[in-house]
Amino acid sequence: MSTTVKAHGMDGTLVEPDWPPLALSEVRTLLDQFPGLGEPIEILSISPRPFSAASVVATRGGRVFIKRHHRSVRDREGLLEEHRFLAHLLHAGAPVPRVFLDTTGETAIESGEWTYEVHEAPEGVDLYEDALSWTPFRSAAHAHSDGQALARLHLASQGFQAPRRKPRPLVAGFTIFAAQNPHAEMERYLAARPALADSQPIRNSCAQALALLAPFHAELLPLKPALAPLWTHNDLHASNLLWSDAGDDAHAAAIIDFGLADRTNAVHDLAQAIERNIVEWLALMEDPAHPNDVPVHLDDLRALLAGYESVRPLSSAEAAALAPMTALCHAEFALSEADYFRGVLHSEEKARLAYEDYLIGHARWFRGPGGARLLGALRTWAAARERQPQGVTNR
């Protein structure tokens, strides 16, 4: 492995990748099964994202995007859950990449311990290529366009009726706090994931998270009947968009990376976008003793919400649900990451960061002044919508 290849670490630093990068010989063997794409010429980029190996590859027929997963993370069945959703979105006109079929009609290619997928490389500028989740937008215009892109995705997702994904690492679902009894649902969640269930420290963290987040669950529960089930992206950070150009007024041109997608609801997905883009969580990891100093970008929040509602206006109940959902939405993915780190990478240290720094640290922050500022802004926004004359909300 080249010493120049680095991946995003959990604390925002660049680290050695957990998975070896794609090699040209490996890509050539894979693309032999896709003769219409042409012979690979050069690996143009190596993604710094940590959970798989991915590259844009130049072939005789053009550029393609290739991603390789360990089969314990995404086997054929797991990738097909994502590919069926992408096919629906593409048919509905959403700006998402096409997944190529090999000569046997497969889109998820298993070989030894790996599972591969080959996507078209959409047109657009990868403006946030090196940006981690939890780093802010470059401009309010980008935040506005992110909101519009997410709303359009939700409209395109309507009618896709696949069931919720099976238990897998690295999926941002919504089950624990969707339940009437989150304690019982947490037990079911842990029982389905042995790498979590057999760890007493993880169980202790789950109990703390349930206690810290209980007020937000109580706030959300009466509003939940208004949240229609919907397949969602669950990770619309600016880095999962390709952009029209490199300017501050650029608009989103394509949506990529559906690895965390699942059947949740539109408010959950919007909350995830807020959690990923508006709060600089890396500052909390760097200086946990001063949680009130974590930057919260409220101007970008307002722009994101305005962009979303310019395409898909929220109902009153959806708007009211957004504040508690924003406090709750991180929990399940933090546990999913802990499952990945402990069950796949066998790293107790990384798992501890997921269940202590992410799960507990973020939950504790939402109960403090920083979280109150963000959630107060969301509640104020929701209340102001109700005072506006009908038809004015989205102008």
pLDDT tens per residue, range 329-347:
999 999 999 999 999 999 9
**26 in Cβ contact with 94 (< 8 Å):** no
Q: Which two tokens stand for residue 352?
A: 């501890």
Q: What is the pLDDT of residues 73-93, one digit of tens each?
A: 999 999 999 999 999 999 999
Q: What are the residue ranges spanned by the domains of the chain?
A: 7-120, 140-387
Higher pLDDT, 333 or 7: 333
Mean pLDDT (whole number) for 47-68: 94
pLDDT value of position 7: 58
Give pLDDT, residue 393: 46
- pLDDT(390) > 80: no
How far is the C-alpha of 301 from the C-alpha of 320, rounded, in Å? 15
Whole-number Å distance between alpha carbons of 78 and 199: 25
The answer to whether 362 and 386 are in contact (CB under 8 A) is no
- Looking at the chain, list the stretches that DSSP marks H as alpha helix, in order from N- to C-terminal side: 24-31, 76-91, 140-157, 182-191, 194-197, 200-220, 266-277, 281-286, 298-309, 316-328, 330-343, 348-352, 361-366, 369-387
Fold of 140-387: Aminoglycoside 3'-phosphotransferase; Chain: A, domain 2 (3.90.1200)
Band of residue 272 on the pLDDT scale cut at 50, 70, 90? very high
**pLDDT value for 17:** 82
pTM here is: 0.94
Work out the pLDDT band at 18, boundaries 50, 70, 90: confident
**Among 141-145, 234-238, 286-290, 315-319, which stretch is predicted with the lowest mean pLDDT?**
286-290
What DSSP character marks residue 357?
I
Q: How confident is the model at residue 1 (pLDDT cuts 50, 70, 90)?
A: very low
Which pLDDT value is given to residue 13?
67
Mean pLDDT calculated for residue range 351-360: 96
pLDDT of residue 392: 45
Q: CA 163, CA 98: separation in Å to the nearest integer? A: 22
Helix (H, G, I), strand (E, B) or coil at 393: coil
What are residue 113's phi and psi, to 5 degrees? Answer: -85, 5
pLDDT at 271 over 70: yes
Distance CA 9, CA 57 (A): 24
**Under CATH, which number does the domain 7-120 receive?**
3.30.200.20
Helix axis angle for 140-157 and 266-277, nearest 10°, is 160
Only one residue has tokens 């600089």, namely: 280
Whole-number pLDDT of residue 388: 74
